[in-house]
Amino acid sequence: MVEEIKNGTRRTLNGSLCVYFDGYWIRCYIPPKDTLAERKRLIDNLTRRTFHHTEPGINTPGDRLELARAAHDRETEPKRKRIKAAMLAGALFNRATDIFTSVVDLAERGVTVSQDNELMRECGACFQEALALGKQVKHYSGHEGIDELWGEPFKAFTLPVEKFYESRYIKIAQSMRDIDRVADRLVDLFDNDPSFSGLTALIRTYAGAAKSECETMKSDTDIFDIWANFTASGEAVVEFEPRMADSMSKRRIRRIVEGRRLVREGKELMAYVAGARVPMPKSTQAFLDRCEAYQQAAVRISDDPAKSSLAAR
């Protein structure tokens, strides 16, 4: 019988402590003590990571919150209002972290600030409003919103640190699932195509490296090897050149070029998901739809004798 493993199960695998969630063993870490100072450090790191993976120009300083709100409120053009909403969300995030920094500074000087204090309430309100506006914020690729990543600093503010870590493992498992979905679809498309011989092994290697990068904290000493493997295996996928011959039809050459473009798009999507460590469902589904269209185009050609004859010329 296959062992049923419960979510949250921990084991040491290949020398690393891992936790199991939704079909994946994920490298896990001991959470820091739940102190104001540690929580501030966590929120600061999450906020920087959020801005790193989202569209440029929205990291508005907290002291410009009122200006950002006024600009957003008076805007009427939908696209510009969406961008100004993202800028307002950035200002709210930074205002919240500014307040929390002040609270930690007071605590370090022996001044106790309770959760019911006006500063803490304003901090929570800023995080909450930023979270609501987060649906307007896009990933830096422009593909889609990435509100699951945007909500992490608010979670770190409201949840016990241990619970926050657990929520991250769930998102990492979902991210690994999407990486596998993209890789599996590419393998299905190109595994039996002689022009792409050798590609699927490169895709599998890259998907494995992407999942390792996704689960590994930057502070982990293994990151040097993991990041090098992730980057080098990605370069191998991008540099892959399909085999083409002078005798090939124009239709066949166009299809190879289109397939090569699809492979590079899939590689980029896996990199986006691995870097953000949250699933990107819209982007993933859009890519899978493009893969389906690529496959169906081949089926239509093979089912039409006239077109097949033309393609062979």
Radius of gyration (C-alpha) of the chain in whole angstroms: 24
Name the more confident of 154 and 241: 241
Cα→Cα distances 71→80, 96, 130, Å: 10, 20, 16
Distance CA 291, CA 285 (A): 10
Mean pLDDT lowest among 13-17, 97-101, 150-154, 221-225: 150-154
pTM over 0.85: yes
- Work out the average pLDDT over 267-292: 94
Please report, to the nearest 10 degrees, the dihedral formed by the alpha carbons of residues 38, 40, 42, 44 taken in order. Answer: -150
The band of 308, judged by pLDDT with boundaries at 50, 70 and 90, is very low
Mean pLDDT lowest among 9-23, 70-84, 111-125, 298-312: 298-312
Cα→Cα distances 29→38, 165, 220, Å: 15, 8, 9
Evaluate if residue 307 carries a pLDDT over 70.
no
Distance CA 123, CA 107 (A): 16
Evaluate if residue 35 carries a pLDDT over 70.
yes
Distance CA 238, CA 245 (A): 20
* C-alpha closest to that of 167 among 178, 151, 145: 151
Distance CA 171, CA 176 (A): 9
Helices 305-312 and 281-303, interaxial angle, to 10°? 90
Q: What is the per-residue pLDDT for 263?
A: 97
- Strand 10-13 to 24-27 pairing: unpaired
Mean pLDDT lowest among 108-117, 130-139, 286-295: 108-117
What one-character DSSP code corresponds to residue 135? G
Q: Amino acid letter at 77? A: E
**pLDDT digit string, tens, across residues 185-221:** 999 999 999 999 999 999 999 999 999 999 999 999 9
**pLDDT digit string, tens, across residues 213-230:** 999 999 999 999 999 999
Please report, to the nearest 10 degrees, the dihedral formed by the alpha carbons of residues 150, 151, 153, 155 taken in order. Answer: -170
- Work out the average pLDDT over 145-156: 82
For 250, the 3-state DSSP assignment is: helix
- Work out the average pLDDT over 255-272: 96
Residues 6 or more apart from 193 whose CB is under 8 A from it?
A: 259
Q: What mean pLDDT, rounded, does the chain reach?
A: 90
Token pair belonging to 56: 């440029």
CA 235 to chain centre: 19
Distance CA 3, CA 128 (A): 41
In 10 A of CB 272, how many CB atoms? 24
In 10 A of CB 17, how many CB atoms? 12
The band of 302, judged by pLDDT with boundaries at 50, 70 and 90, is low
Residues 6 or more apart from 75 whose CB is under 8 A from it?
A: 81, 84
Distance CA 17, CA 72 (A): 46
Q: What is the per-residue pLDDT for 81?
A: 96
Q: What is the per-residue pLDDT for 147?
A: 75
Q: What is the per-residue pLDDT for 300?
A: 64
